[in-house]
Amino acid sequence: MESLADAAAVASRACELWRRQARASVAARGVFRAALSGGRTPALLFERLAAAALPWKSTELFWVDERYVPHGHAESNFALARELLLGRVPIPEAQVHPMPTGSGEPARDAAAYEALLRTVFAGRSWPGFDLCLLGLGEDGHTASLFPGGPELVEKRRWVLATRSPKGVADRLSLSIPALVRSGLCLFLACGTEKSAAFKAALGRPAGPASPARLVWSAAARGVFLLDKQAAGGIPPGQGAGWAGFLS
Ligand code: 6PG
């Protein structure tokens, strides 16, 4: 967990971690598979990634979640990435896999995306993304996994149709088991309004586990990058002694 000076520093650090993970994955297996979240927070990171020297020819991009709107819609997570990143980097189009939102039935499109992932990760019991980029909602949601939702106890499916209490109601989302085996779950959170959700993700105060806590606590490897507002006062730099801070 790292508390950084501001959103720009969070984006720069996230870009560095992405670069390291991409280079290690390509060196080890010839491919780097990353899944993207949406929302406002990743925008600065997408701009950093577009300007960085990265192995795009060996990169495959997927999505952690999507709002159930056409891909040209202002609320579409794919549209955000296409505008700030995809149109600026030499990633082959065949290696970009947006979540489908065109059948009119979220559950059908969720199943279709799961079928795609099962071909990409053939022979595996769960997908093995090299990096999943995750945000944090004020209510403790992450991906499109929301507090109290049935999706929080999913044990079998990789991709789910979920319902958001705010904004675009119908969503598609990777499930918790599909997320937590990633090579790196990279959480980004900026702004004072995320501070309580961040502390809840760490289990403070005790209470029903938020979706972010369920993912963070089960992640094979998780990193939380926060600006000082979201970190709630921990000085910039490595946030040592978090338990003491959060007691
Ligand atoms: C989405 C995201 C969602 C997001 C959080 C934080 O589709 O909305 O995947 O999980 O990461 O809601 O959103 P902001 O970055 O806009 O605060």
DSSP 3-state percent helix, strand, coil across the chain (nearest 5)? 40, 20, 40
Rounded mean pLDDT, 64-71: 98
Does ligand 1 have an atom closer than 6 angstroms to the CB of 38?
yes
Given this model, what pLDDT does residue 50 score?
98
Residue to mutate (ligand 1; options 10, 46, 65, 163; most atoms within 8 A of CB): 65
pLDDT for 245 beyond 80: no
In the block, which residue shows the tokens 């927070």?
41
pLDDT by residue (tens digit) across 1-41? 999 999 999 999 999 999 999 999 999 999 999 999 999 99
Does ligand 1 have an atom closer than 6 angstroms to the CB of 166?
no
Q: How buried is 59 (Cβ within 10 angstroms: 0-12 exposed, 13-18 middle, 19+ buried)?
A: buried
State the pLDDT confidence band at 242, using cuts at 50, 70 and 90.
very low
Q: Which of 81-85, 88-92, 104-108, 205-209 has the lowest mean pLDDT?
A: 205-209
pLDDT by residue (tens digit) across 99-141? 999 999 999 999 999 999 999 999 999 999 999 999 999 999 9
Given this model, what pLDDT does residue 235 score?
55
| Ligand 1 centroid from CA 86, angstroms | 19
Please say whether the beta carbons of 227 and 4 come within 8 A. yes
State the pLDDT confidence band at 232, using cuts at 50, 70 and 90.
confident
pLDDT by residue (tens digit) across 157-209? 999 999 999 999 999 999 999 999 999 999 999 999 999 999 999 987 778 89
Cβ of 37: how many Cβ atoms within 10 Å? 26
Residues near 36 by beta carbon (within 8 Å), at least 6 away in sequence: 42, 61, 62, 63, 64, 77, 81, 133
- Tokens matching residue 229: 């507002």
CA-based nearest residue to 211, from 159, 139, 162: 139
- For ligand 1, atom 11, the nearest C-alpha belongs to 135
| Ligand 1 centroid from CA 123, angstroms | 31
Does ligand 1 have an atom closer than 6 angstroms to the CB of 135?
yes
Start-to-end C-alpha separation, the chain? 16
Query: Fold for domain 2-246?
Result: Rossmann fold (3.40.50)
Residue to mutate (ligand 1; options 78, 142, 151; most atoms within 8 A of CB): 142
State the pLDDT confidence band at 236, using cuts at 50, 70 and 90.
low
CA distance 201 to 95: 32
Given this model, what pLDDT does residue 246 score?
38
- For ligand 1, atom 7, the nearest C-alpha belongs to 38
CA distance 211 to 197: 10
Does ligand 1 have an atom closer than 6 angstroms to the CB of 162?
no
